Amino acid sequence: MDTKRVRSAVISVLGIGGFFLLWHLIAVSGLVDRVMLPSPAEVFWSALAIARTGELQDHIRASIFRMALGYAAGSSLGILMGVLLGRSTFLESLVGPILQMARAIPPLALVPLIIFWFGVNEGAKISLIGWATFFPVWINTLLGVKGVNPLFIRAGQSLGARRATLLLKVVIPAALAPIFSGMRVALSMSFTVLVAAELAGALAGLGYLIQMSALSFRVDTIFVGIVVLAILGFIADTLFMQLLYRLFPWYRSEQTGK
């Protein structure tokens, strides 16, 4: 394994360890009420107690299911719209301003409307996550497609490539880097909106766990939900990047500048 990668991993572990150590010191120092800020150990034992009953696993599965479907739907539609608008000046002029205005609407503002439209079923939660996921992917795909070097396109045309071939063999491959960047941002957005989506009448999920814990004033359980969300987000981002590096080795070089 590359020495620099090992050193980077060690530094990351030390940083995470230092964060939890600082958290522990603040919690036990008496500066903050222990009820309001439980120590990492107390949060761990609370998580273990919930996990023993299987409740924590059920909440995690429900949240991952909603996030995955919403992310997949939003990303797919974002890539499609980005490519279409990036290749068509007419479509960009027609639809672009509407999407730009919609991009400014916070997902939380849509919660009541989505509940009215879809009720409290899974469609409401998945739609809200898909909404938040769509825009980072769409705008990055649009910019990536519009930013393709015209020389690449003219070279393909001079070789007799048709529009579909030009799109699949030249334009999309050249725009992959910004598309991947948008998908990575959207991945973190999907976790951010997940909690808000699960406030829309969910009966399971980490957002539901946090909400129910707040109503019963179980701060330690609130921290369990928050920490698990953070861990899941970190794992998802790491797996996403490792998959990109494996499928597209050039992407690592582009990210590191080597």
Residues 6+ apart with CB under 8 A from 39: 23, 24, 27, 28
Q: Identify which of 111-125, 184-198, 206-220, 221-235 has the greatest average pLDDT.
A: 221-235
Identify the pLDDT of residue 254.
62
Rounded to an integer, what distance in angstroms lies between the CA atom of residue 37 and that of residue 231?
19
**Which pLDDT band, with edges at 50, 70 and 90, does 200 fall under?**
low
Domain spanning 38-256 has what CATH number? 1.10.3720.10
**Taking the mean position of all CA atoms in its chain, how far away is CA 136?**
10
CA 20 to each of CA 23, 43, 48: distance values in angstroms, whole numbers, following the listed order:
5, 11, 18
pTM comes to: 0.86
Q: Which has more confidence, 199 or 239?
A: 239
233-252: pLDDT as tens digits: 999 999 998 888 888 877 76
Given a cut of 90, whether residue 137 has pLDDT beyond it is yes
Q: Average of pLDDT values for 173-196?
A: 89
CA pseudo-torsion sign 206, 207, 209, 214: positive
- Sequential DSSP letters for the chain: --HHHHHHHHHHHHHHHHHHHHHHHHHHSSSS-TTTS--HHHHHHHHHHHHHTTHHHHHHHHHHHHHHHHHHHHHHHHHHHHHHHHH-HHHHHHHHHHHHHHHTS-GGGGHHHHHHHHTTSHHHHHHHHHHHHHHHHHHHHHHHHHTS-HHHHHHHHHTT--HHHHIIIIIHHHTHHHHHHHHHHHHHHHHHHHHHHHTTT-SSSHHHHHHHHHHTT-HHHHHHHHHHHHHHHHHHHHHHHHHHHHH-HHHHHHHHT-
- Angle (nearest 5°) at CA 68 between 210 and 81: 125
